[in-house]
Each structure stands twice: as structure tokens, then as C-alpha cells.
Amino acid sequence: ARDKLGISWQSCENEKQGMLVMSWEGRVGGSGVEPSEFQLYVMALSALWADAGIQEAYARRSEFQLSESVKYFLDNLDRIGQLNFIPSKQDILFARKATKGIVEHDFVIKKIPFKMVDVGGQRSQRQKWFQCFDGITSILFMVSSSEYDQVLMEDRRTNRLVESMNIFETIVNNKLFLNVSIILFLNKTDLLVEKICTVDIRKNFPEFRGDHRRLEDVQAFLVQSFSRKRRNRGKPLFHHFTTAVDTENIRFVFHAVKDTILQENLKDIMLQ
């Protein structure tokens, strides 16, 4: 990405380090890499991450596809590169992987059984969604709130947030979900807080009104943008701002969502 963006190395020595890391990357299989082998590349990775050219490329990451967990792991290279490294809970939370296919989770909370069906959000995965919709009581619609300046991996043109809004519009107005509670999760609040300080949302959403550096204004705009997609404004739209790597935040939101689902189901039962 650095090369394609026309960014020079700060240190010419790092070109060799980059070639070393790229040659290693091609040998890493799906089973991962042994700590002893990874340790051989820690110094090279650290040198690259400290290079001003790489930092400039990272600052322009909206222009190419890059996992949002990269900074966390590269900032923690000294710890991760130890031979006796054991991943922490936080490390595991940052080790994100896109959902592919359909994954079901069954669990019980206070003697009440729940079934959660997780479906991939990529375009290639969406044709599988309708297999899961029979008998559902709620839809948890997850959106990355920080992706207002990023484009889809599939076509490298469509704004990711616009794509999410279009999908949401299709779902929220579908007759199949007339009696289904829809709960909007605007995730990655931590990244949104960082991004609004450097990336003006008005560049991609000129209709935005308010202080583009004020979190509350940006969040209000996001909620309004999704809410306007509903034809039936009388039906409530529940929403939560979340940070998936913040366990306390997710625990609080999850309990709130559980109560919402139970209350909405109780209303449906009483109306039958």
C-alpha cells in the first residue's frame, strides 16, 4: 500500500525489512506460525511500524483495505513477540475475523433460552440470510459507525456506511419483519472517537449539520440517517452505541437488548 500511495521510506534500510516480512507472509499458512519463528521477524516488524512512511500510509488507510486491529497488535509487538506470550482477553477480542456462512449460538439467561444466528455481512454472504429468517423474533443489525470514509472490499467504490444504510432500508421495510423488533448496533465507538478528530464526515456526507468533531453530533446524525430509512415511523427503532472490545459496555448493552427482546415478545403474545 505504501508503494502504491507513492510514499517513500523514511529509512532505506526498511526496504530490506519490508521484503523480509513480505517473503515470510507468503509462507504463513492457515494454521498460523510458531512463536519461535515469529520472534525472528519482530525486530523487522517493529522497524517498519516505526517508519514515518508506514505511519503516513496508515494515516491514509481509508484509501485501501486494512484490518482495524492492525494498530493494536503492532503497538504491542514487544509483548506479543515474547516466546512465552499468552494472549490476554483483550488480545482475543481484537483478533477479529469476518463471519462467513451461518453460525448459530444457543445459550440460556435466567432460565430463558436464546438462539442467536450470526450471518456474514459481505455481499457474497447475503443470499444465505433468508434461510435464517423463519421464526425469528428480533434482528440485531450491526454497523461499523467509524466507516463513513471507507469503501467496500468487493467493489472499492461504494461507501461502507451507505451500503449499510441501503441494506438496513431493505430489511426494516420488509413485510416479513412487520412484527419483528429491529435493534440497531452502531459499533466501534472507540474508533469513531479517534476518526472524527482527523476525518471530516462532511466530505462523504455533505448533508451533515452540526460540529463534525463533536461525538454527540456525529452519533445523532448516524441514528437519524438510519431512522429515515423506515417507512413505518410509528414502529420504534431501538439503537445502541457499542465498543465490541469493551467487555463492560457489551455486558451492559446485552442485558438491555435482552430486556427489549423479552418485552417486545411479551407484547406480541398479549396481542395474539
Binding-site members for Mg(2+) are 99
Which residues are annotated binding-site positions for GTP? Answer: 93-99, 118-122, 187-190, 244
238-241 and 112-119 strand pairing: unpaired
Beta-strand ranges (E) seen in the chain are 102-109, 112-119, 138-144, 181-187, 238-241
β-pairing, 181-187 vs 238-241, is parallel
Indicate the annotated binding residues. 93-99, 118-122, 187-190, 244
Which helix (H) or strand (E) is 25 found in, with range? helix 13-25
Residue 131 in grid coordinates: 434461510
Spatial CA neighbour of 153 closest among 64, 69, 71, 68? 64
Q: Please state, in angstroms and rounded to a whole number, the distance separating the CA atoms of residues 40 and 163.
A: 41
